[in-house]
Amino acid sequence: METNELNAWFGSFQAIKNVSMKIRGNLTTAIIGPSGCGKSTLIRCLNRMHEVTPKARAKGRVLLDGEDIYSRDVDPVEIRRKVGMVFQKPNPFPTMSVFDNVAFGLRANGIRDEEFITKQVERSLRQAALWKEVEDNLDGCGAGISGGQQQRLCIARALAIEPEVVLMDEPCSALDPIATSKIEDLIFDLKERYTVIIVTHNMQQAARVADYTAFMYLGELIEYSKTKRIFENPEEELTEKYITGRFG
Amino acid sequence: MIYGNLKVRKLKDRLAYAIALLCVFAAAAPLISILLDVLVKGLPQFSMEFFTSELPSPGTGEPGGIGPAMIGSMYVIMIGSAIGIPIGIFSGIYVSEYGNNWFGRSVRFLTEVLSGLPSIVVGIFAFLLLVLGLGGPTAYAGGFALSIIMVPVVSRSTEESLKLVPNTIREASLALGVPRWKTTLKVVLSHGRAGIITGVILSIARIAGESAPLLLTVGWSPFVQTSLSEPISTMPVLIYLYGTSPYENWINVAWGTSAFLVIFILSLSIGVRLLTRGRFAYSRL
């Protein structure tokens, strides 16, 4: 996946300025930076969720498998099937059971084969490391499990439709340290099959899970390279200041 | 004394409280007295015969029943619901989910105007359009008039309950590659279901007692009507006709019908309250 001179606005406010970055497949890329720097907006541009917000628009090119997802004849719905998303706050569908939450993406996309759906739900829940905990409670309410479990349920839900890329927008910011470490382990496993892009406030988290790290400031991409390099020997002064906490 | 006279302040406080309490009684008294009057005079009319048999002949002293009027009321309520509920729900969906533009805002404004429209005006409209147009009063015309009253009630309550559905839920569905219309139908609607059902039931309660539009549109028939394109008897019109008649047995039937209508409408409203207690439990998540 690759962005090319990507710009994004909310009304007249420009949240993303000329960001060009190449994201490596089957690796985890973290995006860090202070609040309001455009990290979330950037990943919301990668599955065309940015434009769902009223008055928001984006310009530029985002290539997925060499194809521009912003080109005129591309349906955003198709893109979102290929690029899944996990949000900051766990948002399972509260009116649905655990099983139906995971099956929803499949069913709503026209899959009727219940046997396949059952298999896919189990597979996704296993990948999200949630299967053992909800195995006996698949008919229970999706909102009735703990916050950490809900977030893994949301991850399973995103995985069920087999996307190529999984975007995670601060997936652990609403969770306690134990749930967080479970999700971090999970992210580590996920990159075998998926390309993971994670936005995080937490620099240790970026250092733990990401192969590559991008640092953003005021809508611009300041530095982007291997995580080790960013944390140990950053090129830009701004990055170093942020990493070491001597900011502002 | 910087703080003023404490005694005078306490006195003022008491006085304000007493006035507020007095106003509460003033507001509740007529309501309670109407309810009591209707129930005291109406309840003794209730019997198996009252609900099943034909309307009584005037002045004969036979008690008679309201069977035809109950059935007629059911007809017009069902016709009104069949037209009004779908239109109301879909226009509510439009305004809440797609109405963030001048058109949506005008629809909402028009809905507000419509819900404030005097029902007699709605009746006249249906009268001009359907009664004169079709050559006489019919059950259809009455149902149509009631549906006009129903639409804004259903539309507003649908809009309000869909607006309570958190945006994160819509985004969750959109991000799974589910198209907007499917997201609305399968996720947003199922989330706002309780609120919509409440609105629908309350709108039925609202039209069950409407009389002005029916007076102008459904006419009257003392028999059980099987055709919807004929005049029929309904309970509100029965209350009007019989209640103002000089015959004692008719007046008694009018009391009984009033009591039945009041109980019916009250139980719908109270039923909704009981059913939907904690109906917005989801949005607290």
Which of A78, A91, A95 has its CB closest to that of B172?
A91
Q: Is A200 or A247 the better-scoring residue by pLDDT?
A: A200
pLDDT digits (tens, 9 = 90+) for B133-157: 888 899 999 999 999 999 999 999 9
Nearest to B176 among A52, A92, A157 (CB): A157
Q: Is A109 on the interface with B (CB under 8 A)?
A: yes
Q: Which residues contact A141 (CB under 8 A, 6 or more apart)?
A: A94, A96, A97, A98
Residue pLDDT, tens place only, B196-241:
999 999 999 999 999 999 999 998 888 887 888 889 999 999 999 9
Chain A contact set for B169 (CB, 8 A):
91, 93-94
Q: Which residue has the tokens 């879909």?
A: B90
Q: pLDDT per residue over A141-162, tens digit each?
A: 998 999 999 999 999 999 999 9
What is the chain B residue with the closest CA to A161?
Answer: B176
Residue among A83, A91, A169 with most chain B CBs within 10 A, to mutate: A91
Residues of A in contact with B178 (CB under 8 A): 77, 104-105, 108-109
ipTM of the complex: 0.90
CB A34 within 8 A of CB A200: no
Residue found under tokens 């009041």? B262
Q: Where are the domains of chain A?
A: 2-90+164-243
Q: Which pLDDT band holds residue B283 (cuts at 50, 70, 90)?
A: very low
How close B182 gets to chain A, by Cα (Å)? 7
Cβ–Cβ pairs < 8 A, chains A and B: 74
Does the A2-90+164-243 domain belong in CATH 3.40.50.300?
Answer: yes
Q: What is the pLDDT of residue A248?
A: 61
pLDDT at B41 over 70: yes
Residues 129-158 of A with CB under 8 A from B: 143, 154, 157-158
**Residue pair A123/A117 in contact by the 8 Å Cβ criterion:** no
* A79 contact residues in B (CB cutoff 8 A): 177
B264: left (phi over 0), alpha (psi -120 to 50) or beta: alpha
CA distance A231 to B56: 93
pLDDT grade for B62, boundaries at 50, 70 and 90: confident
Q: Is B244 on the interface with A (CB under 8 A)?
A: no
Give yes or no for A53 touching B (CB within 8 A).
no
pLDDT-based confidence at residue B278 (cuts at 50, 70, 90): low
In which band, very low, low, confident or very high, does the pLDDT at B119 lie, cut at 50, 70 and 90? very high
Question: What average pLDDT score do residues A170-196 get?
Answer: 89
Measured between beta carbons, the chain A residues lying within 8 angstroms of B172 are: 87, 91-93, 154, 157
Q: Phi/psi at A231 (nearest 5 deg)?
A: -85, -30
Instruction: Test B168 with A89 for CB contact under 8 angstroms.
Output: yes
Determine the distance in angstroms separating the CA of A244 from the nearest CA of chain B, rounded to an integer. 34
Q: Please tell me if residue A87 touches chain B, with a CB cutoff of 8 Å.
A: yes
Give the model's pLDDT for residue B284: 35
* pLDDT tens by residue, A49-106: 999 998 999 999 999 988 999 998 999 999 999 999 999 999 999 989 999 999 999 9
Confidence (pLDDT) at A156: 95
Residue A132 has pLDDT above 50, yes or no: yes
* 8 Å CB contact between B199 and B273: no
Interface test with B, best of A77, A83, A87 (most B CBs within 10 A): A77
CB–CB of A95 and B178 under 8 A? no
Question: Which carries the bigger pLDDT value, residue A129 or residue B81?
Answer: B81
Q: What is the mean pLDDT of chain B?
A: 90
Query: Is A77–B179 a contact, with Cβ atoms under 8 angstroms apart?
Result: yes
DSSP per position, chain A: -EEEEEEEEETTEEEEEEEEEEPPTTSEEEEE-STTSSHHHHHHHHTT-GGGSTTEEEEEEEEETTEETTSTT--HHHHHHHEEEE-SS----TTSBHHHHHHHHHHHTT---HHHHHHHHHHHHHHTT-HHHHGGGTTSBTTSS-HHHHHHHHHHHHHHT--SEEEEESTTTTS-HHHHHHHHHHHHHHTTTSEEEEE-S-HHHHHHH-SEEEEEETTEEEEEEEHHHHHHS-SSHHHHHHHTT---
Which residues in chain B are closer than 8 Å to A87, comparing Cβ atoms?
Answer: 168, 171-172, 175
- Tell whether B206 lies on the interface with A, counting CB pairs under 8 A: no
pLDDT of residue A6 exceeding 80: yes
Q: Closest Cα to residue A95, out of B159, B194, B94, B221?
A: B194
Say which residue, B2 or B257, is predicted with more confidence.
B257
Does the pLDDT value for residue B52 go beyond 90?
no
Residue A238 distance to chain B (closest CA, Å): 33
Residue B166 touches chain A, beta carbons under 8 Å: yes
For the beta sheet containing A2-10, the strands, ordered from the edge strand earlier in sequence to the opposite edge, are A13-22, A2-10, A56-64, A67-68
Instruction: Quote the mean pLDDT of chain A.
Output: 92
Amino acid at A156: A
- Tens of pLDDT along A31-57? 999 988 999 999 999 999 999 998 999
d(C-alpha A190, C-alpha A71), whole Å:
29
Minimum-distance CB partner of A93 among B100, B182, B187: B187
Q: Which of A84, A87, A95 sits opposite B190 (nearest CB)?
A: A95
Cβ contact, residue pair B178, A87, below 8 Å: no
8-state DSSP, B171: H
